[in-house]
Structure 1
Amino acid sequence: MEFKVLTVDATVPQLGRNTVYLKKDNWNDYSYVTMFDMSLHDANGNYVIVGSIKIAFKGQTTSVSTFSTLDKSFTELDKRYFSLGNSVDFYKAMTKLNRDTRRTVLTALRDIVVQPEIIQEITGEDVFGTSLLRYHSLSVVKGQFARILWGKAELTEYAFQYRRPEDSDVGSITMSFDVSVDVKPNTNVHAIIGRNGVGKTTLLNGMIESVNNKKNQGFFLDKSGSPIASDYFSSLVSVSFSVFDPFTPPADQPDPAKGTCYFYVGLKKVGIDDSLKTLQELRGDCIKSLVACFGAPGKVDSWLKAIEKLGSDENFSRMGLHQLESVFRAIKEELSGTSQADSQIFYDNYYRKALPYLEKMSSGHSVVLLTITRLVALVEEKTLVLLDEPESHLHPPLLSAFVRALADLLHDRNGVAIIATHSPVVLQEIPKSCAWVINRVGKASVTIRPKIETFGENVGVITSEVFNLEVDRSGFHDLLAASVRSGKKYEEIISEYSGQLGLEGRALLRSLVETRDQERAHDAS
C-alpha cells in the first residue's frame, strides 16, 4: 500500500489502486498541527473517504507541523510516529474495507488502536494528550474504537461494587452496580435513596476520593472482588449544586494520559474551601461547555437530543434553547478563516449573543442546562457520573425529564451514573435493580433493594415503600436491638424468631451484630 501526502488545495486522483491519500488539514489543537483528511483507493479501485486522522511524532513541538516532516510518498511511517483517528466515524468508515486491508493501512500508520503497545512509548509526549487525545480518553481508544474497527458491539456491560469498611463513625457498607446491554428500561442510571442524614453524600464523596487515589477507606471492586484497574473508568464527573456540602472539590484532571480524568460541575470554586462561584462565573462555565459541545465531532446531535428530551417540561421548551446551536454556527461562518471556535474572540462573540438566553432562565432551569451541557461535553465511554441530590433545584417534571435525558446520554456513550437522592421521582425512572435504599441506625448502615418494582410506579407507592421504615422503627427495630444487646449470635437470634424474619430485618440484624462484635473487640484491645 502506497501513501501519498497532499497539500490543502491538492485534488485527490479520480483513479487509483492500493493508494492512501493524506490531505493536509490546517486545524490546530492548541497550536499542534497534526490533522489529515484520509481517503483511499483499494485493491479493486474503489474510492473510500475514511475521515480525519491525527498523526504526530515523538518530541514534536507546536512550532513543527506533522505535514512538514513527512515524505510526499511512503509505504509506512517510521517508529517516531504514531496516529489516531479523530472520531468513532473514522473507524466505522474503515470497516468498509476488508479486515486485512484495515490492518495493513493502520499498521503502516502506526495507529494506536491497532497497535496499543505504542501507547506506553508516548504517554509522556505532550502532543499525545493535547492533540490526539483532545476529545477521547485511553479507555475509548482501547475500548470503543477497537470494538468498532473489528466489527464488535459498541456497548459493554458493567459489574462493579463499592465497599466502605467500618470506621469509628460509621459501619461498613457494600453496594453492587450492574449495567446490562440492550435491556429496557436501560440500567445506566443507579440511585442511592434515603432520608437526610443517612450518609448518601458522604458515600459519593468517598467514591470520588477512591477514584482520585486520595487516602480513603472506600474502594471500588470488579465483579471478581478485585480492585478495579486504574483505567476501569475513563473519567469521573462529580455534579453537586449543594451549598452546604462540606466536600471541597479537587482540581480537574483533564489529561487522559495521566489516568482517570476528573471533572467537577457545581457551585463551588475548585480547591478553595467554602468559596462559591458567582452567577457570571456559572454562566461562563455554561458558555464554555456549549462551545465544547458544538465544536466537537458527534456532540451536537447529543446536545440537541438532550434539550429535546428536557423540552417535555413545558416551561423549558418555551425558551428555544436549541437556537444556541444556530447562533454558534452563525458566528463560526462569520469568523471563518480568522478565528477558531476555541479562540478568545470566538468565545467573546458567542458569550455576548448567547447571554440573553441564559438571563431569562430561572435558577432551576439554569442548573439543568449547565449540568446537561457539561455532561454532553464530558461524558464518553466508561465515564462514571456522580450526582448529589439533583432534586434540590428541579421540580418533579423537570427532574424526571433530566433523569431520562441523562439515561439516554449514558446509554449512547456507554457511561454509568450514581445519583444520591431523597426523591421518589428518580426511582420512578429506573428499575429496582438499579436502586439502593439506605438507612442508618446509630452507627450501622443498612442497604436493601426496594421490594416493589419502581420503574413507572406511582410516586406515592414508592414513597411508602422507601420511607415507611421510619414509622416502624419503634417496633421490630427495638425488638432486634434488644436481642443484640443480650449478647446472642446472629444465628441464635434468627432461631429465636423461628426463622420468621424478613430480608430487611435480617440485613438490619446482621449490621447490628457486626457493629456490636467489632465494638467489643475494640474495647478488649
Structure 2
Amino acid sequence: MQFLVYRATRPPLPRGLSYPYVSLFQDNWDDFGWRCRFIATLHRSDDEDDDVDLGAIRIATDGDAFRVPQRDLPAVLEKLPARSASLGESIAYYRRIGDMPLRLRNAYLRAVADIVAKPKRRDRITSEKLWNDSFQREASSRHALKRGGIYIGAEVEEVEPPAFNFAMRLEGASGSHQFDIDFSTRDGLPNRTILLIGRNGTGKTRALSALAAAVMPPQVFTEASRKGMPSSVVSPPPEVSRVITISYNAFDEFPLPAEPSRAPRSTGIAYRSRASYKYCGLRTPDGTINVDEIEKMLAEALEPVVQSDRLDVLRRILATLLDPDRAVDLTSEDEEPRRLAVKGLSAGQRLVAAIFSNIVGFIEEGSLLLIDEPETNLHPGLLTSVVAALNQTLREFDSYAIVATHSPILLQQIPSPYVRVFTRDSTDQPKIKPLGFESFGEDLGELSRRVLGLADPERDFTHMLNDLYERHGSVEAVQELFPYPLGVPAMAHLFSLATDDEGEANG
C-alpha cells in the first residue's frame, strides 16, 4: 500500500499513485522535541465519500521519529521505511479500522506496521524517550494500546477503573486542594459517577477545569484558555480514551480545544473538539448565548450521529432524557421531522439534547466526562432525567464522570464512597473530605443541612416545631394548626419531642 505525505493542502493525485492508498498529513505537533505525528486518511477510490478519516497516528522508523523533510513534500512512498512501527492516538482510530472489510483492514495494518495488531513491533522503538514522551504521552494513546485490539481482532488488556490523586493551588488560597478520585467498584455499588459537592466559592469548578488541563497535553488547548489555569498535579496519570468537558454555564472555565489539524475554525458553534478532547457547552467567542444558538447547536449535533451507527444508542438516551416519541422524531433520518421536533422543545430541553447528542457522537470506551453544575438553568424534573441519561450513557460506553454540583438532588443519587465534600475554613484553607454518612436515598432537606449548610439549625423548621410543641403540648395539637398533613421529616421531629417528654415524665 502506497503513502502520500504532505504538509499543505493535499495535492492532486500524483502519477504512479493507485488506490487504495494512505495520505499522511505531516503535523507540526511537538512531543518534547519529537515530531512523528500524522493525520491518516485511507483513500479507497476517486470518490471522496469512500475516504476513511482515521485520525492521528505516530510513526517511528528504526528507533527514531519518522519525518519527511519539508523540502521533499509532497512525497509518494511505495511503503514505509524498514523497521517502522506505528500507534493510533485513540481507540476511535482502531474502531474506524475495524469497520473496514477484513482484507483491506489487514492490508492497512501491515502497511503502517501497527503495534496493536502485532505487539512485537514495539521492539523497533528502541528509544524509551521516544516511546514515553511521544507514543505514550497521551492518556488516549495508552488506552488505545491496551484496548484497540477489540476492534481489529488483536490481543487486549483489561483496564482498571480510573484511580488517581489530584492537587491544585489556587491564587489567594492558604493551602492546596487535594483529593483522590477512585472509580473502583465497591460490592456492586454504582461506581461510574463521582460527585464534587460544596457551596459556591469552594473551588469545585476550578478543580474540574484544572483536571482537564492536567490530563491532556497543553497543545490540545488554545493558548488563551490555558492562561490563568492553576498549577495542578495528577498522579498517576489516568488511562482514559477521551476527555469531554460539559457545562451549562456561559461563564465556565474549561479550557477550549485548539484548532483541529487542517480543519477550518468553527464559528458560532458552542462546542469544539481537538484530538481526544472535546468542550461541549455554551461558551462562544463573545460569551453570549441565545435560544437560536441552542437550536443551531442541537441541529448540528444531531446530523452526524443520525447518519452514523450510533443512531439507536442516541435514540434510547433521548427517550430517557425526554420521551420515546420525541426521541424518534429527533433522530429521524429525514431533516424535516428533526427540524419540527427541535422547534417543539423548550430551551432547556434543546440544551440537554444537544449536549447528549455531542457526547454520543464523540465518546469512546473509557472516556472521562467532566461536568460542571448540570443543575444550572434546569428544573428538578429535567435534572433527574439528565442523571438517568448520564448513567445510561456511561454504562453503554464503559465510561466515567466527575460532576461538580451544589444540588442535593444529585447528591441523593450517588453512594457516599463516590462523594467528595468541598469546604473552606475561616482562614480560607480548602478542605476536601469524604462524606461521613450515607447520601444515597437520603432526605433532600437532611442533605441540604448536613452537607451544604443551607439551613441554620437555629432558623430551620425544627426550631419552629420546637416552639409550637412547647406552646401546644402535643403532636396532635401542632398537626391541627396546618391545613394539610405535615411531611415525614416534620412528623418524625414532633414524635421525637413527644418521646423525650415521655422519657422525662417516666424518669
Partner of 2:283: 268
> Which of 280, 299, 321 does residue 292 from structure 2 map onto?
280
Partner of 1:304: 315
Q: How far apart, CA to CA, are the structure 1 residues paired with 2:255 and 2:154?
A: 39
The answer to whether the 8 A contact 1:34-1:65 is kept is no
Whether 1:426 and 2:400 are equivalent positions in the alignment is no
Q: How far apart, CA to CA, are the structure 2 residues paired with 1:79 and 1:296?
A: 37
The answer to whether the 8 A contact 1:450-1:465 is kept is no
> Which of 418, 425, 434 does residue 449 from structure 1 map onto?
434
Cα 1:118/1:161, change in 2 over 3 Å: same
Whether 1:294 and 2:306 are equivalent positions in the alignment is yes
Cα distance, 1:62 vs. partner?
13
Whether 1:317 and 2:329 are equivalent positions in the alignment is no
* Residue pairs, 1:36-51, within 5 angstroms: none
Q: How far apart, CA to CA, are the structure 2 residues paired with 1:174 and 1:385?
A: 20
Cα 1:305/1:139, change in 2 over 3 Å: farther
* Residue pairs, 1:100-249, within 5 angstroms: 110-113=113-116, 114-115=118-119, 117=122, 138-146=141-149, 149-150=153-154, 152=156, 156-165=160-169, 167-180=171-184, 184-211=188-215, 213=218, 214=226, 216-222=229-235, 226=236, 228=237, 232-245=239-252, 247=253, 249=255
Cα distance, 1:174 vs. partner?
0.9
The answer to whether the 8 A contact 2:167-2:178 is kept is yes
Q: How far apart, CA to CA, are the structure 2 residues paired with 1:379 and 1:119?
A: 32
The answer to whether the 8 A contact 1:239-1:387 is kept is yes
Cα distance, 1:82 vs. partner?
6.7
Q: Which runs of 5+ in 1 are unaligned?
A: 4-23, 38-51, 71-75, 97-101, 122-135, 311-315, 331-349, 475-525
Cα 1:236/1:82, change in 2 over 3 Å: closer
Q: TM-score, normalised by structure 2?
A: 0.59
The answer to whether the 8 A contact 2:406-2:452 is kept is no
SS in 1 for 2:190: coil
Cα distance, 1:295 vs. partner?
3.6
Q: How far apart, CA to CA, are the structure 1 residues paired with 2:145 and 2:443?
A: 42
What is the identity, as a one-letter code, of the residue corresponding to 2:42? T
Count of paired positions: 373
Which runs of 4 or more aligned residues in structure 1 lie more than 4 Å from their structure 2 counterparts after TM superposition?
Answer: 24-33, 52-66, 76-94, 102-109, 115-121, 147-155, 252-255
Cα 1:317/1:111, change in 2 over 3 Å: same
* Offset from partner CA, 1:172-225 (integer Å, 9 cap, x none): 221111112596333121111112232322322332343453464442423xxx
Q: How far apart, CA to CA, are the structure 1 residues paired with 2:21 and 2:332?
A: 24
Cα 1:144/1:32, change in 2 over 3 Å: closer
The answer to whether the 8 A contact 1:194-1:437 is kept is yes
Q: How far apart, CA to CA, are the structure 2 residues paired with 1:463 and 1:386?
A: 23
Q: Which runs of 5+ in 2 are unaligned?
A: 2-18, 26-38, 46-51, 60-65, 127-138, 219-225, 262-272, 460-507
SS in 1 for 2:364: coil
Q: How far apart, CA to CA, are the structure 2 residues paired with 1:365 and 1:108?
A: 47
* Offset from partner CA, 1:223-245 (integer Å, 9 cap, x none): xxx5x27xx44432221222354
What is the identity, as a one-letter code, of the residue corresponding to 2:210? G
The answer to whether the 8 A contact 2:23-2:42 is kept is yes
> Which of 364, 369, 374 does residue 358 from structure 2 map onto?
374
Q: TM-score, normalised by structure 1?
A: 0.57
Cα distance, 1:357 vs. partner?
1.2
Whether 1:460 and 2:445 are equivalent positions in the alignment is yes
* Residue pairs, 1:492-503, within 5 angstroms: none
SS in 2 for 1:374: helix
SS in 2 for 1:436: strand
* Offset from partner CA, 1:410-438 (integer Å, 9 cap, x none): 23333321111111111222211111111
Cα 1:118/1:370, change in 2 over 3 Å: farther
SS in 2 for 1:322: helix
Cα distance, 1:158 vs. partner?
1.0
Q: How far apart, CA to CA, are the structure 2 residues paired with 1:449 and 1:280?
A: 42
RMSD between aligned residues = 4.9
The answer to whether the 8 A contact 2:330-2:342 is kept is no
Q: How far apart, CA to CA, are the structure 1 residues paired with 2:179 and 2:164?
A: 9
Cα 1:397/1:353, change in 2 over 3 Å: closer
The answer to whether the 8 A contact 1:290-1:373 is kept is yes
Deviates more, 1:160-169 or 1:187-196: 160-169
Partner of 2:372: 388
SS in 2 for 1:192: strand
SS in 2 for 1:193: strand
Cα 1:59/1:205, change in 2 over 3 Å: closer
